[in-house]
């Protein structure tokens, strides 16, 4: 799948719901790489996905400083939300233990994954071995700039 969607921020929850309407995607391990400029809406999208998968949780915001936030899934397992913005190198990412923890998640949401292609490839391989799925979600603001709308380009990972 490779699709583009123009979504208002008000409809983001519905959009996340449509992405996870497929039981296979909802019930098998998956990784979502979130790509976009600073302020594009990566954490806002992560929040919509987390609320869709686990409505009872309180979203903790972007894990920019803690590197990872953990959310229990309604049916068991964890959704993990990670932000690699403040990590300086692949070695630092490896040393942090974040990759190992993400590889155990039911659903992993990773912001700024494009900074470290080796680590991104490593996670893709782990989820494939687990018979899981993956997608890249690139978020941008349409032109002319509309502060209440985003364009989501979604591509399944082979």
Give the helix/strand (H/E) hosting 90: helix 90-96
Contact between 59 and 51 under an 8 Å Cβ cutoff? The reply is: yes
Q: What is the pLDDT of residue 67?
A: 93
Give me the pLDDT at residue 79, please. 94
* Cα 20 from Cα 136, distance rounded (Å): 14
- 4, 33 Cβ separation under 8 angstroms: no
Split the chain (158 residues) into runs of 10 and give each run's mean pLDDT. 81 88 84 90 92 91 92 89 93 90 91 87 84 88 73 83
Give pLDDT, residue 1.
57
Question: How many whole angstroms separate alpha carbon 44 and alpha carbon 25?
Answer: 20
pLDDT of residue 142: 74
Specify the CATH number of the domain 2-156: 3.40.50.300
At residue 69, the pLDDT reads 96
Query: What pLDDT was estimated at residue 145?
Result: 63
Residue of 129, 44, 34, 29 whose CA lies nearest to 75: 29
């Amino acid at each position: 799948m490779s699709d583009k969607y123009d979504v208002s921020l008000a409809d983001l929850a519905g959009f996340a719901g449509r992405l996870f309407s497929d039981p296979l995607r909802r019930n098998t391990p998956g990784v979502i790489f979130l790509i976009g400029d600073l302020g594009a809406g990566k954490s806002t999208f992560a929040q919509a996905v987390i609320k869709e998968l686990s409505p009872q949780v309180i979203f903790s915001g972007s894990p920019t400083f803690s590197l990872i936030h953990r959310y229990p899934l309604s049916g068991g397992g964890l959704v993990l939300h990670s932000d690699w913005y403040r990590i300086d190198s692949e070695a630092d990412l490896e040393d942090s233990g974040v990759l190992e923890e993400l590889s155990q998640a039911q659903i992993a949401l990773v912001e700024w994954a494009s900074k470290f292609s080796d680590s991104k490839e490593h996670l893709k391989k782990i989820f494939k071995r687990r018979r899981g799925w993956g997608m890249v979600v690139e978020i941008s603001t349409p032109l002319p700039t509309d502060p209440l709308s985003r364009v989501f380009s979604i591509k399944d990972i082979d």
